[in-house]
Amino acid sequence: MLDSEKLAIAAHLHVLMRRKLGRVTDVEWMVKNREYALEVIRTARAENLAELTEWVDKLEATVVGPHPAPRKSQPAGNTVPGAFTAVPHAPDQGRDSQHSDLGFLDSAHGGGRYVGRLR
């Protein structure tokens, strides 16, 4: 499958997750990094929404390949390190791992900006 097609699937899932779950993902990283894609799939499946499942299946088939992602949600703290926050060049190492899968991080904003403070 062409990279552009994989990117289109990832982008579609990104939009759905933003709308349905309020979570922001990194589309490019989803295509490039298998662990990150697995974590996105795990989180999306945990919501059990039909609309999401359709695109999760597509992502799983094209990006992840023959090794399926876990279908059940894992306990907090057992998530893939850096998942949802493993945006390239995003300096987010200081964040609490328990909350690292909440997924509000935008790759354009690193550091502690807007974390625990507005101003």
The reply to whether 12 sits near other proteins by the rule CB under 8 A is no
- Please give the single-letter amino acid code of residue 100: S
Which among 42, 31, 107 has a CA at the least distance from the CA of 65?
A: 31
Selected binder of other proteins within 6, 23, 42, 45 (CB under 8 A)? 23
The CA distance from 9 to 34, in Å, is: 14
Stretch that binds other proteins, among 34-42, 48-56, 67-75, 105-113 (CB under 8 A): 105-113
Helix, strand, coil share (%) of the chain residues, nearest 5: 50, 0, 50
The reply to whether 115 sits near other proteins by the rule CB under 8 A is yes
Selected binder of other proteins within 1, 6, 20, 86 (CB under 8 A)? 20
- Which CB atom, from 11 or from 21, has the smaller least distance to other proteins? 21
- Which CB atom, from 15 or from 61, has the smaller least distance to other proteins? 15
Q: At what angle do helices 50-59 and 34-47 cross, to 10 degrees?
A: 160
- Under the rule (CB under 8 A), what is the footprint of other proteins? 19-23, 95-96, 98-100, 102-106, 109, 113-119
